[in-house]
A and B are shown apart, each in its own frame.
Chain A
Amino acid sequence: MRIFLLITATALLCFGCTKEKKPVVIDSRNFDIQSSGNITTVRNLPADTIIGVNSIGQPVGSGRYSFFSLENGQWVPNTDSATNRWDLAFAGTTIRVNNQTSGPGLGGAFVQVGTFESLVTISTDSVFRIDNHPVSYAIPRGSGRAWYTYDGPTNLLTIIPGRVLVIRTATGKFAKVEILNYYRGGVTPSATAPDSIKIKDQRFLHFRYTFQANGSRQF
């Protein structure tokens, strides 16, 4: 039983590593962006959601990224993937920044331990990492490495509290991002929920961020 869950999980973590040019229809009924003060909260952003099962019963997505501009607070169509109009691209547990192997921009990122509110200044000696697709990413993938943990026995992904993604945008400005949830509706299914729910409702990202438009490192 656990073997199957593990296969499923691994499959989930592996898919969607390639960039696609085709436009993706965003489910606008649930996808939602709200701003309050300098904090913008994004809910239910589909990140390569599960569309079916492959021949050996593993759930798969279409392999397409959801592109997002922190600067404009908007979802960006996939046709713009080769521009610096986007800052973050989401597919499953992969988050890419717009630089080098991922895009033409000046993007970069690192993960800081602490609360979202306590991060008021990005220190000048911070090192922003960049993507080296498909080997490594500025925001590392894998359970317990950056912003999530995955538990094989319960087949659930949980966001680690106290992790802030410090982002350098495609245009070289700064933002801080906190991932809030990975499941549709912003509620992680209970450990005892059937696998079908855990699979169908995953890859809906919830996060909040503050973008500093003036280019400074202060929030």
Chain B
Amino acid sequence: MRFYFLLYMVGAPFFSLLAQRDTLPFLDEVVITATRQERRLGNVAIPVQLIQRKQIQQAGSMRLRDILQEQSGLQLMSGFGTGLQMQGLNPEHTLILLDGQPLIGRTSGVLDLSRISLSGIKRIEIIKGPSSSLYGSEAMAGVINLITDNGVKPQAEASLRYGVADTKRGWGVPFSSQNLEHTEADVHFSFKLKKWTVKQSANYLYADGISYRPFSQDRIPRPISRFTSQSVLQGPIGKKVDMRVLTRANQDQFRQQFAVQNNGVTTASFGRELNSELVFQPTITYRPSASLVVSTKAYITHYVGDQQLRFLAPTDSTYKDRFEQRMYRIENQVDIKKGTTTLVAGVGIQLEQANSTRYDAFTSKKENSVRYAFAQWEVKLGEKWISVVGARFDHHTLFSAALTPKWALRYQPNNRLSFKGSIGQGFKAPDFRQLFLNFTNSAAGGYSVFGANQAIDVITNLNRLGQIAELKSDFSKLSQLRPEFSTGYNFEINYSITTSIRAQASFFRNDINSLIDVRQVATRIDGSQLFSYLNVNRAFTQGGELGVQWQLHKSWNVNFGYQYLQTADKDERSRVFQQKEYIRDLSGSTRVMNSTEYVGLPNRSKHQAQLKLTYESSADRFVHLRLLYRSRWTIANSNGNTVHDSQDEFAQGFVQVNLSAGLPITSYLVFQAGIDNLLNYQDLFYQPNLQPRTVFILARVKIPSKKTSINQ
């Protein structure tokens, strides 16, 4: 394989002149997430990052996490699966959509990105900054929207991928005993049935994991088998009326076997996790005239997460955990375009239900219903200005309502320079876990966590029974949970230095209020601690991003991205500035902490950068090299004070290099190969989901063999 890379590198006409073009083709890409309607990228006031199918395929990505980790300004977090950190906010603050509708099934606020297959996804749109004015709860840090294929061209494509890694030897040898292998099969076809277009995708992935690691705390890449099927049926059902029905089913199963060594005693345990997900999304779109679109969308989604963990010692016992979540939604949206003004308005109603073994009883169904309305008014002011004003109102039955406005402005003095600024609010409604959790670790001296809706009743009751030794001061602060609110400021400058070099600089700041945190509210007489959720924390994140895209030659591309990030818990920060926090010297004695030693929120890297080099003579003939860098981040507050500082435990910063290349054999058959994590960087404790160096090969068969078919 290396031979081919070399051949490409040398053979490509590296030193020829820069290609000159009159238009900037990227501005013609169509995006939908910024405004909830299809628009040219060059014509929206809110910055949108776009990942096309071609990029996903060229990177050889198998799951959503694989492609997102290669994007500027996005960081992955380990814990409850792989979560996404955007603009320095936690995974629970980024909304993940499939064709504009939210994916559900979060664990502790994290939607596991390694669960989500990219099968049938045509492009991914990323919006950073609060977007609750269009999308409601959870869109605090931003929105990731997975867009399914909307085309009507019949085609068929099948691919098979095999990859191998070996944690010990560095290079995997197929079929050897200790290696980690993965196999992915993907089929995608579409055809016409009279006026109807039918599209079907199916994907199967099996990936080995490490099933045994001493001293483990279940932080290991787990063996996964996953099956995804997606069907789309679309066509006209009347004059000017179109219908589209999307069905997507996903099932993944993790198996793990691990042993815990404790004082020479080894306890073996066997785990099985089965997650099933079903999405059904019918849409009817009515276009009575060129300036009016009315669409009605229904959305039904189910998620079931089922876990079993069997311990063989001290007694053979099985721990069972089951979580079911359902969401039903119907919404109606009207798009009106008149002259220089565009109006998007919609109303919707949503019912969400959950059952969990971790609530008071599995049979007790928890419900929340939401009624919402949103409107966005966009107006062109002359040739150079676009102003977008929008707001959304969400009324929840379980807690207070939320009104989230946003205002965005674009100024484009000429076609090489543009400025985009926005100010907006985001919110996240308390989730079921924060409201209803009723989880007790009943082992001696254990602990309990109660959702905010349970805590007062349960603890007052225990107190009456004489079971409470101490009520903490936070107990008196327990009340109905309120949504978390943030205000985000975003500013971006876009400049095309020449037709082949363009650069962006952006700045962001998010001020987050009433963040929900887990606090101890009482102690039982047996000493066990009782926790609940309170709106107590205030935080901010701020930073800047820099991007440069350089078309070196018609087939050579350089892409550079960098993010600088600063975060802080506002109360912690003020304690540090008031010299109320202490730190230990190397000698062991204590001194007042210096404000420069405060590092802010955990799990945040200050610097993140990436460099991508692409040689591409066609979509299938390419070499794609990506260097991803992330600076160190704090893992735990390990030195006894109450804030994260430079002495705490850090995960090392690292560079990951991914390389892939494609070679068309015939017009029907394409080969692709690559090495993920070429430098074999590993950090089993802090980055368990980072696979060791993995070599993969992939064969893809396409019918009809139109080179543009995957690029459309």
Q: Give residues in A with beta carbon < 8 Å to B.
A: 1-4, 6-11, 13-14, 53, 56-57, 59, 113, 115-117, 142, 148-149, 151, 153-154, 156, 158-162, 178, 180-181, 186, 188, 190-196, 199, 206, 208
Contact = CB atoms under 8 A, between A and B. Distances in A.
A2 B217 contact: yes
B16 interface: no
Contact of B638 (A7, A10, A13, A158): A158
A15 to B, nearest CB: 12
Interface in B488-545: 527
Nearest to B218: A1
Given A1-B218, A6-B441, A191-B638, A59 B263 contact: yes
A188 B588 CA distance: 12
B445 A116 contact: no
Nearest to B447: A6
Interface string B243-286: 00000000000000000111111010100000000000000000
Interface stretch (B31-39, B56-64, B579-587): B579-587
Interface stretch (B334-342, B378-386, B404-412, B589-597): B589-597
Interface string B556-585: 000000000000000000000000111110
A191 B443 CA distance: 23
Interface in B633-652: 635-636, 638-641, 649
B263 A53 contact: yes
Contact of B262 (A8, A154, A191): A8
Contacts of B215: 192-195
Contacts of B214: 194
B685 interface: yes
B444 interface: yes
A139 B492 CA distance: 55
A154 B685 CA distance: 12
Nearest to A50: B263
A160 to B, nearest CB: 4
B582 A115 contact: yes
Question: Of residues A10, A158, A162, A194, which shows the largest number of chain B Cβ atoms within 10 Å of its Cβ?
Answer: A162
B314 interface: yes
Contact of A160 (B216, B444, B580, B640): B640
Contacts of B263: 53, 57, 59, 195-196, 199
A191 B590 contact: no
Contacts of A190: 649
Contacts of A188: 638
B588 A186 contact: yes
4 A-B pairs with least C-beta separation: A162-B582, A10-B445, A161-B582, A158-B640
B446 interface: yes
B588 A56 contact: no
Contacts of A57: 262-263, 265, 314
Nearest to B262: A195
- For A156, A161, A206, A208, the residue with the greatest tally of chain B CB atoms inside 10 Å of its CB is A161
Contact of A162 (B269, B445, B590, B638): B590
B314 A156 contact: no
A181 B588 contact: yes
Given A6-B447, A7-B443, A7-B444, A195 B261 contact: yes
7 contacts: A3-B441, A6-B445, A6-B446, A7-B443, A158-B639, A160-B640, A196-B261
Contacts of A115: 582, 589-592
Contacts of B443: 3, 6-7
A28 B636 CA distance: 35
Contacts of B267: 4
B592 to A, nearest CB: 7
B314 A56 contact: yes
B641 A162 contact: yes
B265 A178 contact: no
Give the bracket for the number of chain B residues in contact with chain A.
Answer: 35 or more
A132 to B, nearest CB: 14
Nearest to A148: B640
Contacts of A180: 588-589
A71 B685 CA distance: 46
A192 B684 CA distance: 10
A53 B638 CA distance: 27
Contact of A14 (B445, B580, B590, B638): B445
A114 to B, nearest CB: 8
Interface of B: 214-218, 260-265, 267, 269, 314, 441, 443-447, 527, 580-584, 588-592, 635-636, 638-641, 649, 685
Nearest to A118: B592
Contacts of A192: 215, 685
A178 B590 contact: yes
A9 B441 CA distance: 14
Contacts of B216: 1
Given A6-B441, A57-B263, A115-B582, A160 B641 contact: yes
Contact of B589 (A56, A160, A178): A178
Contacts of B527: 10, 14, 142
Nearest to B581: A162
Nearest to A197: B215
Which of the listed residues B214, B263, B264, B636 has the most CB atoms from chain A within 10 Å of its own CB? B263
A4 B636 contact: no
Contacts of A154: 636, 638
A154 to B, nearest CB: 7
Contacts of B581: 162
Contacts of A4: 260, 262, 267
A2 B261 CA distance: 12
A56 B589 CA distance: 39
B635 A7 contact: no
A56 B263 CA distance: 12
A136 to B, nearest CB: 10
A194 B264 CA distance: 10
A34 to B, nearest CB: 13
A154 B269 CA distance: 19
Nearest to A7: B443
B262 to A, nearest CB: 5
Contact of A156 (B218, B445, B590, B638): B638
B549 to A, nearest CB: 40
Contacts of A195: 215, 261-263
Contacts of A142: 527
A115 B580 CA distance: 10
B441 A191 contact: no
A148 B641 CA distance: 9
Contacts of A116: 589-590
Contacts of A161: 582-584, 590, 639-641
Contacts of B638: 151, 154, 156, 158, 188, 191
B640 A153 contact: no
A153 B636 CA distance: 10
Contacts of A206: 588
A11 B443 CA distance: 11
Contacts of B685: 191-192
Contacts of A162: 581-582, 590, 592, 641
Contacts of A178: 589-590
A112 to B, nearest CB: 12
Contacts of A193: 215
Contacts of B591: 115
Given A1-B217, A195-B215, A53 B265 contact: yes
Contacts of A153: 217
Nearest to B584: A161
A190 B260 CA distance: 17
Contacts of A113: 580
B445 A7 contact: yes
A208 B640 CA distance: 18
A73 B396 CA distance: 65
Contacts of A199: 263
B60 to A, nearest CB: 32
B151 to A, nearest CB: 48
B265 A151 contact: no
Contact of B260 (A1, A10, A11, A56): A1
